[in-house]
Amino acid sequence: MFIYVICTAEDKGVASMPEEKVRNVRINRSDKKFGSDPSVMARRVKDMRTLRPNQSSKMIDSMTEQDIKNGIRALMANVSIVDGLDSESEWLFMALLSEFAERDEKGMMEWVTRECNSMTADSIIVDRLRRKFQKKQPDNRQEFFEKGGELLSSDGRAALAGSMMLNTKDISTEDALFFLGHLSVGRSAISGNMGFADQFDFRTFAGSLVSMVSNIENSQNTLSAIPNNLLTEWVKRDPEEAFEFYQEYLYKKPYSILGNGYPEMIQGYVNSATEEQASSWLNDVLESTDLTDNEYSEVIDKLTRQEFGGVGFNEALLNKSSNRDVLMAEIAGAALRYSDAADRLGKSIQSFTSFDHYLESAMKAILGDSPIYSSEGRLINVLREMGRKEAEIEYVKSIYQEAKEIKLGR
């Protein structure tokens, strides 16, 4: 039976201890048998929250199953609807659930479906199955899903399918299509990288995924799970087929697949090809009219962050460009997208022979209708923040005016 010991002056040395040690003394003096009284367990849980994980773990090991259930109930009774559990309570909550599952996994899952609302029960069960799946990677993944999902709601099954799809190593086409078919449509989604088997049929899977995405009526909705690396991995294995698929089914369409845009495909190809192949190919892409303004800006931003190729890739690309200075100015100008643009742009300009060299190159980009310099106000504000002369700023304004007149055909 649990006995809460009050610290008194007669307790040798306890009265002068720091509060943390006093709590430890109080708890350690308790009998190992906690009893089945929920109110007693509620007090015990309150004290356990303040202990270190290794101390709580020892106590949890000695609990009966009823103690564990009462402990979970006590924590759930104090959940804030707005904020949820605090970090200490959340750790203890998961530790109690984990111990329960180690002793009787099916019993734990059945119990939470009775004790918790559907959303909470789904979350607990899916998390447990996800951890188990990641650790064991069973051969028959579909059977694991069917058995594990017996107690889940339809939303819970969709969450489990998404988790398994994104966490399977060397997933087969058959398993990927199976999990894809169990996804749901809603306002939120999980995303991650899939591990594809050597003989994975990218075209079949991508075709099914696009079919599902294109049939979502509300543009604010999405599939419950998205593989971020589908096209980037496909383009490494068969670039011609991957780009052909993108051109036919995703280019300038009213729908898209998160993480699977043209810039990501470009990055996947560039990082898998030789520097010579990649720089020549990317230069052709940048100088063509195939990219939308957003796609072009994303590619330039990736160049700015040096996400393409190795250390010398940007220089190799610049050497291939028919207008090196303009591309340099665009790579520098990608800094305008960031809150610390003045600092970023100032550092990028150091690659030019002078500020006038940068300004001349940027003006060519503006007159060429570069999407990098589409915002006149943004560039002017950043130049002012950098402390540039008013004459330089007026010159920039005149170039933007000239560009507007060119657009109007004057």
Q: What is the pLDDT of residues 106-141, one digit of tens each?
A: 999 999 999 888 888 899 899 999 988 988 888 899
Q: What are phi and psi of 171, to 5 degrees?
A: -70, 140
286 has a pLDDT exceeding 90: yes
4 has a pLDDT exceeding 90: no
Write out the two tokens for 267: 């990055």
Residue 274 — left, alpha, or beta (φ > 0 → left; ψ -120 to 50 → alpha)?
beta
pLDDT in tens, 62-108: 888 988 888 888 887 766 544 566 777 788 888 888 899 999 999 99
Task: Give the mean model confidence (pLDDT) for residues 139-163.
Answer: 93
Per-residue pLDDT, 8: 28
CA distance 192 to 243: 21
pLDDT > 90 in the chain, percent:
60
**Please, which pLDDT band fits residue 36 given cuts at 50, 70 and 90?**
low
Residue bearing tokens 């022979």: 353
**Cα 85 vs. chain centroid, distance in angstroms?**
23
Contact 337, 328 (CB under 8 A): no
Query: Following DSSP, what letter does each residue of 300-321 receive, concatenated?
Result: HHHHHTT-SSSTTHHHHHHHH-
What pairing do the DSSP bridges indicate for beta strands 222-223 and 185-186? antiparallel
CA distance 387 to 389: 7
Per-residue pLDDT, 70: 86
257 bridge partner residues:
none
Task: Give the mean model confidence (pLDDT) for residues 5-28.
Answer: 36
**Cα 303 vs. chain centroid, distance in angstroms?**
21
Residue bearing the bigger pLDDT, 13 or 259:
259
**Please, which pLDDT band fits residue 410 given cuts at 50, 70 and 90?**
low
pLDDT in tens, 38-63: 666 667 766 676 667 777 778 888 88
CA distance 55 to 58: 5
pLDDT in tens, 340-358: 999 999 999 999 999 999 9
Per-residue pLDDT, 59: 81
Write out the two tokens for 233: 């991995």
Per-residue pLDDT, 310: 77
Distance separating the N- and C-terminal Cα atoms of the chain: 92
Per-residue pLDDT, 15: 38
Fill in the amino acid letter for 363. M
Per-residue pLDDT, 38: 61
Contact 358, 329 (CB under 8 A): yes
Residue bearing the bigger pLDDT, 97 or 317:
317
Per-residue pLDDT, 281: 94
Fill in the amino acid letter for 236. K
User: In terms of Cα–Cα distance, which of 294, 293, 242, 250 is closest to 266?
Assistant: 242
384 has a pLDDT exceeding 90: yes
Which range among 19-33, 264-278, 363-377, 378-392 shows the weakest confidence by mean pLDDT? 19-33
Per-residue pLDDT, 41: 65
What pairing do the DSSP bridges indicate for beta strands 185-186 and 190-192? unpaired
User: Across all residues in the chain, what is the average pLDDT?
Assistant: 85
289 has a pLDDT exceeding 80: no
Which range among 157-166, 168-177, 305-314 shows the weakest confidence by mean pLDDT? 305-314
Task: Give the mean model confidence (pLDDT) for residues 186-214.
Answer: 95
Fill in the amino acid letter for 307. E
**Please, which pLDDT band fits residue 282 given cuts at 50, 70 and 90?**
very high
- Element spanning 241, H or E: helix 239-249
